[in-house]
Structure 1
Amino acid sequence: MRLNLVEAGDGPPVILLHGLFGAAQNWGAVQRHLSARHRVLALDLRNHGASRRAAAMDYPAMAQDVAETMQAMGAAPAAVIGHSMGGKVAMALALTAPQHVSRLVVVDIAPVTYPPALRAYVEAMQAVPLQSGLTRRDADAALAAAIPEASIRAFLVQNLRMQDDPPSWRLGLAEIGAAMPVIESFPELPGRYEGQTLVINGERSGYIRPESHPRFQALFPAARFATVPGVGHWVHAENPSGFLGLVDPFLD
């Protein structure tokens, strides 16, 4: 699948891959910074943003989408940066098509299976009454019982296309909901990625635990680990300068 993307800058190519329920625009500040010295392509993964819908959401399929898009744009090989689900897609790409990845940055996710904590988000979004006159405040209120964190609700409500009448989600919620067991997992893929790899976690996030390090090192033997202090899972959004302070020298 050829993916929708936002492109900026000139220079060595960099690919940005968002997380679950995200979109290319989530990388706005990071993309603007990196585009001063790089050609930066932020992609909408399948069932997200303006990219097409598809039933399959396994990581090899999503990695193939990225590889196809990179080839079509003449942007391979590239440094690939992926956050959360996008980090798993980036790892799958590095393992299945290493010739496309000049170096790899994995942000706050490990190549392991996670518990089904986010399935309630899908169900809550599917239950929002999409009717004429719906406001973002109405949608936020509809999500509040299932999702008490205001910051997470604000992130999810960004996916409402308010220009539609009635408003609609720019997410393939049915496809995402059906694929959650696959999204939560990580496949067994042959081979290793020998290229330079930087694994970044948020200090207050529990997504990357010390017991995950051997799994990283088995698949990515050149992996280095770094922590952005004082932040949770949305590392690059909560502390862009701390995140870029690690990424800039790695890309150089």
Structure 2
Amino acid sequence: MSNASASPPPTLFCLHFLGGSAREWEDTKRYLDPHLICIPLDLPGFGDAAHIARTSVDEMADYVIDRIAERGQSRWWIAGHSMGAKIALVIARRAEDGDPKLAGLDGLVLLAGSPPSPEPMSDDKRRDMIAWISADEKTRTLRAGAFIDQNTGAPLNEAARTAAIDDVLRADPKAWTAWLQEGSREDWRRRIGILRTPALVLSGSKDADLGPAAQICLMLPHLANARHVVIEGASHLLPIECPKAVADLICEMRTLPIAVASDPACVLDSYASLIASHRVNSRLRAALAARASAGSAPYRPCVLDAVEFSILRALIDRVLPQSSDTCIDIGARIEARLSDGFGDGWRFADLPSDGEAYAAALRTLDAAARATHGIGFTALPDETKEALITAVAAGELPTVAGDLDGRQMTKWFEDLRSDAVRIYLAHPAALARLGFSGIGAGGDDVADMPGFSEFRINSREPWEPISEAEAGR
């Protein structure tokens, strides 16, 4: 996406929440840049499209794609609120996969979004919402009002509240029920994977189900290029509660670049010169180059799903902390090895295969975090993460209905630490930081192996690199 202020503004297609309609975007639209074309759409079963019976995520995405294609925009964004966010993610995946109808997608705006995974909602809440939507008119009106009030951080003005209630009441009860019973439970984690499209993710600090923690744990793992903003005091109905704040953040997205996640580890010039010298044989030089390669950005996991992969990265950040400006993406390298089937040749007998063990252990760690702290591992403060990690190492992880028991988790964690350290120390950037000169023992010419001539303590040969610490870095 080009964020330069001189670039022409995109067309913004907007999708609404469960029970909403295109009307929820009216106030936000008034605050947007007047040059930005904003087109709110009704989803099937809601608003003016209440008569259209398309209730699955795929069917709703198809409907929206046809509306986008009718416009024929060369550059466009899509904004999805709550239910609409899940539809927007599916559309973005299809666009990135080359759907000719979707050429020109340039950005995502996800507000209190329903994630690719099944939406976090208790069964009791689902049953209650399904029960009242088909009740008598008086009950429906009262409960629709309560539904709107429960999803706002502060009372709405009367006109906004009345319009929101009216939208809920004109929704097709079958569409409402289908989303709660089926659509919100559809699992798109594997199919969405990790998207490259730049994204703005908004959440309200008072949103109980799809607030900041849910966005960190369930939405951001699917976005390689995202900015997450928490709107203080707001709850779930962001375009209705705080339309100006939402509009301002969307307008900022046009001018503030969102950095693409990458592997910024770089090799010191002095060490790069050693690698290129006649002292390093060509096979080792090629191996070091392969280890330093970040591969294509963003990395898309094959064995782990995007959420499991984000937990792995968060765990490694605590096990082997690195400076953010020279960080080796150890998580991606572990996942690539799992995908390729390359390991160290052994495993604990009471653990499954490496790929299965990693996925199961990461799910178990996340389940323990939710059981003890109410949120997923990636959203926990660092000190809380470290307490859980310590419990894993000691075999004292809280008992949860996870995939692995405490004893298995401890053994897996031993493997993880070994994998992380091995990958770290194999990377030429880490060798450079340590000032490791062992790679310079000899080149390709066996008749002329330069080797070492200086063996005294605290002595260094002229060609040997110095560590970052010695260099004062």
TM-score by length of structure 1 reads: 0.77
Is 1:157 the counterpart of 2:165? The answer is yes
Unaligned runs of at least 5 residues, structure 2 = 1-7, 151-160, 256-473
User: Residues of 2 paired with 1:82 and 1:150: CA distance?
Assistant: 18
Is 1:222 the counterpart of 2:220? The answer is no
Partner of 1:233: 236
Per-residue deviation at 1:239? 1.7
Matches within 5 A, 1:40-79: 40-51=38-49, 53-75=51-73, 77-79=75-77
Partner of 1:144: 142
Give the conservation status (yes or no) of the 8 Å contact 2:14–2:78: yes
What is the aligned-residue identity percentage?
21
Per-residue deviation at 1:176? 2.6
Of residues 200, 204, 207, the one that matches 1:205 is 207
Give the conservation status (yes or no) of the 8 Å contact 2:204–2:212: no
**Which one-letter code corresponds to 1:173 in the other structure?**
P
User: Residues of 2 paired with 1:43 and 1:110: CA distance?
Assistant: 17
Give the conservation status (yes or no) of the 8 Å contact 1:14–1:80: yes
Partner of 2:182: 182
Partner of 1:29: 27
Instruction: Say which structure is richer in strand.
Output: 1
Is 1:108 the counterpart of 2:112? The answer is yes
The alpha-carbon distance between structure 1 residues 214 and 222, as it changes in their structure 2 partners (threshold 3 A), is: farther
The alpha-carbon distance between structure 1 residues 24 and 210, as it changes in their structure 2 partners (threshold 3 A), is: same
Partner of 1:164: none
3-state DSSP class of the match of 1:92?
helix
User: Residues of 2 paired with 1:186 and 1:76: CA distance?
Assistant: 31
Per-residue deviation at 1:88? 1.3
Give the conservation status (yes or no) of the 8 Å contact 1:124–1:143: no
Give the conservation status (yes or no) of the 8 Å contact 2:212–2:230: no
Give the conservation status (yes or no) of the 8 Å contact 2:77–2:107: yes
Could you report, residue by residue, the CA deviation over 1:40-70 in whole angstroms, capped at 9, with x for unpaired residues?
1100000011125454422222122111111
3-state DSSP class of the match of 1:177?
helix
Query: For this pair of structures, how many residues does the alignment match?
Result: 225
The alpha-carbon distance between structure 1 residues 29 and 145, as it changes in their structure 2 partners (threshold 3 A), is: closer
Give the conservation status (yes or no) of the 8 Å contact 1:54–1:175: no
**Which one-letter code corresponds to 1:195 in the other structure?**
T
Give the conservation status (yes or no) of the 8 Å contact 2:112–2:203: yes
The alpha-carbon distance between structure 1 residues 157 and 240, as it changes in their structure 2 partners (threshold 3 A), is: closer
Partner of 1:120: 128
Instruction: Say which structure is richer in helix.
Output: 2
User: Residues of 2 paired with 1:190 and 1:215: CA distance?
Assistant: 12
User: Residues of 2 paired with 1:19 and 1:55: CA distance?
Assistant: 17
3-state DSSP class of the match of 1:174?
helix
Give the conservation status (yes or no) of the 8 Å contact 2:11–2:77: yes
3-state DSSP class of the match of 1:32?
helix
User: Residues of 2 paired with 1:239 and 1:146: CA distance?
Assistant: 20
Per-residue deviation at 1:216? 3.0
**Which one-letter code corresponds to 2:201 in the other structure?**
V
3-state DSSP class of the match of 2:48?
coil
User: Residues of 1 paired with 2:22 and 2:144: CA distance?
Assistant: 26
3-state DSSP class of the match of 1:158?
helix
Per-residue deviation at 1:170? 3.0
User: Residues of 2 paired with 1:219 and 1:194: CA distance?
Assistant: 9
Partner of 2:11: 13
Please say which of residues 53-62 and 79-88 is displaced more in the overlay. 53-62
Give the conservation status (yes or no) of the 8 Å contact 1:83–1:108: yes
Q: CA RMSD in A?
A: 2.8
- The structure number with the bigger radius of gyration is 2
3-state DSSP class of the match of 1:86?
helix
User: Residues of 2 paired with 1:73 and 1:110: CA distance?
Assistant: 26
**Which one-letter code corresponds to 1:103 in the other structure?**
G
**Which one-letter code corresponds to 1:125 in the other structure?**
I
**Which one-letter code corresponds to 1:114 in the other structure?**
P
The alpha-carbon distance between structure 1 residues 23 and 97, as it changes in their structure 2 partners (threshold 3 A), is: same
The alpha-carbon distance between structure 1 residues 238 and 50, as it changes in their structure 2 partners (threshold 3 A), is: same
Partner of 1:249: 252
The alpha-carbon distance between structure 1 residues 174 and 142, as it changes in their structure 2 partners (threshold 3 A), is: closer
Could you report, residue by residue, the CA deviation over 1:121-174 in whole angstroms, capped at 9, with x for unpaired residues?
343232124xxxxxxxxx4x65436974673684663138xxxxxxxx532212
Unaligned runs of at least 5 residues, structure 1 = 1-9, 130-138, 161-168
Please say which of residues 84-93 and 48-57 is displaced more in the overlay. 48-57
**Which one-letter code corresponds to 1:176 in the other structure?**
W
**Which one-letter code corresponds to 2:83 in the other structure?**
M
3-state DSSP class of the match of 1:114?
coil
User: Residues of 1 paired with 2:143 and 2:57: CA distance?
Assistant: 31
The alpha-carbon distance between structure 1 residues 40 and 104, as it changes in their structure 2 partners (threshold 3 A), is: same
Per-residue deviation at 1:20? 0.6
TM-score by length of structure 2 reads: 0.43
